[in-house]
């Protein structure tokens, strides 16, 4: 297999690392990749990951047999459609199926049509309707931009003027949904789909807020854990029955052919699990904790997904726990500088901790430079979450660059008595 990974984040570095361990591969390319993936395969840094033609041209040139698409923007742009047309097997949904993430109105309609538990919502297309809907309600509500927004298109508020201002801005070039505010805790569930069969992976949780104790502004995700200690096999079975199976049957009923990763962003409420959103790919930073816990050869797994044989695949999951801490640039999730030189990076035995880069590059003198808001994920491993946390937090301070910061409380809310 010659594998191409599309993307440049820590999720794609994790995919590249896991695939680099496969006995099946004879070539590994990452487009565009980062300074971390460069150590594992060949970075195709000239490729524009959101341009289907650019990705496909590079894949043909390098005789790629299988492609794995990381980011939603590439999937929504139709990268999978173009690769398949060129005869290259691709892990990820086509553009039509990617609407489950790229249009919140589409996914809300889908959930309502197929009776999948989710927050009650109305679709909003004009400022007049926005004012009417917001002013007729009390309490806390959530407004969501319908299209892709990299985690920044959602406002939870009980201030009606704030909701109207936020919505008015978005309505300039997109539509909205206004939805009921759900309380509970959030988890991320991932299923692999091959067009006919599906397999569930262990539960994850992502820590989306920038501040201590889940406060402050939303980010792309400041840390993650896998598995989630509160999610028993019984709860997972309930999620499968009430959410995963109806979603997969809904896809079949609507004649949506789906291959790749389907991500269920769930709120665990007192009434049971409810879908906050679907994503059509691995989460970031969930992939960084989830993929290292898959024991099976990822090359074999990809092959079985591409040939519709997931049901026969002997999927093996490691019994350990993983906890990931994201190291961010100063100012993130607001404005932040780029190209900060990295002074030091941790090195640990792979059994204890791993380091994944996001959008880093190396300058001519062998120095690593940052290239985004979230720059690295440090992942610690242990026999449970507490020992994984010790490993992650012993390595995280060794990622040094000017203004580097991380949340010190990833996973904490799941520990007994908050400790
Ligand atoms: P989404 O992109 O739809 O997942 O929304 C981003 C984040 O906003 C979620 O991860 C939640 O933290 C929060 N959120 C979204 N919808 C709701 C809701 N209905 N109730 C409470 N929080 C929500
Ligand atoms: N972890 C959230 C996301 O990948 O969208």
For residue 218, the model assigns a pLDDT of 87
Strands (DSSP E) found in 33-153: 42-43, 66-69, 89-91, 121-124, 141-145
Ligand 1 atom with minimal separation from the 149 CA: 2
For residue 384, the model assigns a pLDDT of 95
Question: 186 CA to middle of ligand 1, Å?
Answer: 9
* Closest residue by CA, ligand 2 atom 5: 283
For ligand 2, whether the C-beta of 292 sits within 6 Å is no
For residue 364, the model assigns a pLDDT of 81
For ligand 2, whether the C-beta of 38 sits within 6 Å is no
For residue 419, the model assigns a pLDDT of 45
Burial label for 186, CB within 10 Å (0-12, 13-18, 19+), is middle
Low pLDDT (below 50) residues in the chain? 418-419
Burial label for 263, CB within 10 Å (0-12, 13-18, 19+), is buried
* Closest residue by CA, ligand 1 atom 1: 277
For residue 149, the model assigns a pLDDT of 84
For residue 417, the model assigns a pLDDT of 52
């Amino acid at each position: 297999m010659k594998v191409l990974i599309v993307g440049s984040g820590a999720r794609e570095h994790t995919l590249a690392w896991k695939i680099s361990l496969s006995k099946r591969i004879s070539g590994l390319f990452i487009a565009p990749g980062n300074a971390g993936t460069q150590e594992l395969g060949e970075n195709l840094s000239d490729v524009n990951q959101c341009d289907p033609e650019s990705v496909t041209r590079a894949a043909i040139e390098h005789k790629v047999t299988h492609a794995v698409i990381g980011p939603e923007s590439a999937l929504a742009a139709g990268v999978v459609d173009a690769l398949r047309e060129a005869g290259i097997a691709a892990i990820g949904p086509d553009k039509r199926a990617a609407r489950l993430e790229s249009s919140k109105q589409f996914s809300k309609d889908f959930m309502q049509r197929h009776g999948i538990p989710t927050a009650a919502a109305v679709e909003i297309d004009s400022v007049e309707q926005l004012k009417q809907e917001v002013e007729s309600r009390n309490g806390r509500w959530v407004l969501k931009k319908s299209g892709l927004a990299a985690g920044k298109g959602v406002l939870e508020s009980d201030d009606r003027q704030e909701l109207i201002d936020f919505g008015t801005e978005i309505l300039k070039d997109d539509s909205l949904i206004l939805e009921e505010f759900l309380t509970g805790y959030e988890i991320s569930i991932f299923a692999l789909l091959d067009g006919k069969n599906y397999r569930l992976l262990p539960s994850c949780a992502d820590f989306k807020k920038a501040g201590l104790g889940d406060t402050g502004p939303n980010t792309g995700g400041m840390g993650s854990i896998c598995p989630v200690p509160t999610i028993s096999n019984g709860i997972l079975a309930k999620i499968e029955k009430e959410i995963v199976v109806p979603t997969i049957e809904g896809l079949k009923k609507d004649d949506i052919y789906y291959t790749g990763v389907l991500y269920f962003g769930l709120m665990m409420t007192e009434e049971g699990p409810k879908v906050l959103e679907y994503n059509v790919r691995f989460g970031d930073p969930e992939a960084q904790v989830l993929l290292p816990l898959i024991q099976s050869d990822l090359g074999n797994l990809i092959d079985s997904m591409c040939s519709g044989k997931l049901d026969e695949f002997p999927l093996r999951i490691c019994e350990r726990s993983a906890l990931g801490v994201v190291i961010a640039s100063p100012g993130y999730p607001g404005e932040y500088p780029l190209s900060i030189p990295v002074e030091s990076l941790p090195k640990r035995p792979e059994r204890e901790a791993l380091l994944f880069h996001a959008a880093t590059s190396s300058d001519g003198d062998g120095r690593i430079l940052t290239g985004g808001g979230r720059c690295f994920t440090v992942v610690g491993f242990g026999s449970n979450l507490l020992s994984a946390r010790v490993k992650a937090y012993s390595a995280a301070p060794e990622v040094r660059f000017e203004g580097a910061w991380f949340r010190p409380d990833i996973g904490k809310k799941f520990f007994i008595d908050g400790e």
